[in-house]
Chain A
Amino acid sequence: MFTGKRVDLAGAAAFVAMMAVLPLVFTSRYLIGVLTVSAIYGIWAVSWDFMSGLTGRENFGHSLFIGVGAYTAGFLNTLLGVSGWWGIPAAMAVAVVFALVIGLPTLRLKGPYFALAMLSGAVIMQRLMLIFWEQTGGEEGINGIEPLIRSQLGFYYFVLGALVVVTLVLLALARSHWGLVLRAIRGDEATCQAAGLNVTFYKIASLVISAACAGAGGAIYAHYQLQVSPQLFAVVTSITIITMVYVGGMASIYGPVGGAILLVLLTELLRNFGEWRLMIYSCTLILILFFLPNGLIAPTWQRIRSRLGRRT
């Protein structure tokens, strides 16, 4: 048990150190940009996994929380001159409101209502951004958002820090009694109710936590791109995040971080292949999911861990 924990800590430390040192070794603005985006996707993937991976209630519209977070930070910064440091908590609060509006009525029901409500919520918000183009900037979105930290490297370290904090907090929650209840809900809701657990409360609370993290990620993304567009609400954003979680390993929390970084890097590496890029990307994904239905990152780590544990 102790050796296992020590191996986990060592693995996490090695991973963070590698992420921190990479941009110092290969000093390229392009690489720092790619790593920043991958870390932001990491935040989104972990937060998706915390709610949907643990409870098994698939959320097909995570981009809703990302989009409202980004637009909140964008509006506050460009219209009211509010700094991003206040924009991030504000974005979290707005995302939580959206989580409650969708979660309260749909998470008490069985069936696909929650998944469908999330999906349509994101689609509707994307439409609304275009319909009210005079306020939202339409296709152009909001431009001229101020950067959070002037130095590109400094901003990257901030995002990496945020990813580490979000992952550690959600990992701690997932391994607590709280996480045990969420996994039990995935197993059997009726049995949980018979044990006196208010499953609706647990599901809504986990969605709220997930939304807050995704909203914060959205605000960070807005201050990275210095621009927000309706494309953030796109269904493809949500699907990309779900794919990252599957590649990383569902319900493992740390796996999706690896999945996000791997897939963002893969997308960038494949740029050399030009028009073949999407074809190779999709085939790789299909192969991974076909041969490794439990994902790539988390099961691999478990194997390394048990091998190291045996040796010590």
Chain B
Amino acid sequence: MNLLEIEALDKHFGGLHAVRNVSFTVAKGEIVGILGPNGAGKTTLYNLLTGFIAADGGRIVFNGRELRGMVPHRIARLGISRTFQLCRPFVGMTVLENVIVGALGTAGVDRAGLDERARTLLASVGLAGKGSLGVDVLSYGDQRRLEIARALAAQPTLLLLDEPFAGLGSGEIADLAALIRRLHAEQGLTVILIEHKLREFMRLVQRVIVLDFGAVIAQGTPEQVVQHPAVIEAYVGRGNEAFLEHPDAA
């Protein structure tokens, strides 16, 4: 069954057609990657999905419910959590408090066990023992982990990650990818991620949707997509085909 169905989604910003006629579906339990050059409309797509900006046309159906016209906190309560491209921890609060806030918006959360659950989440993203630190002393990689822990605290069915690997070293990327894989395997979490770091990304995702100038130009498995002529031209540029012969080389 499809968890998410996007149909003919459209968004203009003045003269810029940021998202044009985008349609795709995501099945329950999938890990889907969204690829595309800067300005292709990836983050705009997330903002449309989560209600932060209103679409001009089309449909977004999540779990059988139309999301268009809903305010962000209502969409979040239906089970969609997101992270932001730039880490946005709540400054002046501890790491643990950051995660607890992530859980407070979800109706029906058992508030008594919240501290304990937040600690377990921190341990699962590799931040065990850092709960009482202020967020300002965290390394960038730890801030990324915290973002994910906070998003998971809301117990989502769909997790939207916006460039989770940005600014991380290769060791940290491998750890984070392993975490996403584990969450997917253990909890059946559906994940969509936007990313530029091709190597880990291509290993992690099961299916890739490629955007360029706001439109879907290709869809398929990572292997299919990297050989698609339109993708090679849009994402890597002409003359760089050799670069993509082995996804690992990117």
Of A180, A187, A191, A196, most B-chain CB atoms within 10 Å: A196
Q: Are B97 and A194 in contact, CB atoms less than 8 angstroms apart?
A: no
CB-contacts of B38-77 with A (<8 A): 50, 52, 71-73, 76-77
Q: Are B100 and A187 in contact, CB atoms less than 8 angstroms apart?
A: no
Q: Are B77 and A194 in contact, CB atoms less than 8 angstroms apart?
A: no
B101 at the interface (CB under 8 A from A): yes
A311 at the interface (CB under 8 A from B): no
B235 at the interface (CB under 8 A from A): no
Rounded to whole Å, the gap between the CB of B155 and the closest CB of chain A is 10
Which A residues lie within 8 Å of B88 (CB)?
187-188, 190-191
Of A184, A195, A198, A199, most B-chain CB atoms within 10 Å: A195
Q: Are A192 and B111 in contact, CB atoms less than 8 angstroms apart?
A: no
Q: Are A195 and B76 in contact, CB atoms less than 8 angstroms apart?
A: yes
Number of B interface residues at 8 Å Cβ cutoff, please give it.
32
Q: Are B84 and A195 in contact, CB atoms less than 8 angstroms apart?
A: no
A177 at the interface (CB under 8 A from B): yes
Given contacts A187-B90, A187-B92, A197-B73, is CB(A192)–CB(B97) below 8 Å? no
Task: Find the A residue at minimum CB distance from B147.
Answer: A191
Q: Which of A184, A190, A198 contacts B101 (CB 8 A)?
A: A184
A277 at the interface (CB under 8 A from B): no
B106 at the interface (CB under 8 A from A): yes
B143 at the interface (CB under 8 A from A): no
Q: Are A180 and B73 in contact, CB atoms less than 8 angstroms apart?
A: no
Which A residues lie within 8 Å of B106 (CB)?
195-196
Task: Find the A residue at minimum CB distance from B93.
Answer: A183
Q: Are B93 and A184 in contact, CB atoms less than 8 angstroms apart?
A: yes
Q: Are A181 and B101 in contact, CB atoms less than 8 angstroms apart?
A: yes
Which B residues lie within 8 Å of A300 (CB)?
none
Interface string of A187-222 (1 = CB under 8 A from B): 110111111111100000000000000000000000
Tell me the A residues contacting B by CB distance below 8 Å: 177, 180-181, 183-184, 186-188, 190-199
28 pairs, CB–CB < 8 Å, chain A vs chain B: A180-B100, A180-B101, A180-B104, A183-B92, A183-B93, A184-B101, A186-B90, A187-B88, A187-B89, A187-B91, A188-B90, A190-B72, A190-B88, A192-B101, A192-B105, A193-B73, A194-B82, A195-B76, A195-B104, A195-B154, A196-B73, A196-B154, A197-B73, A197-B101, A197-B105, A198-B71, A198-B105, A199-B73
Closest CB pairs A-B (n = 6)? A196-B105, A187-B90, A196-B76, A193-B72, A197-B105, A196-B77
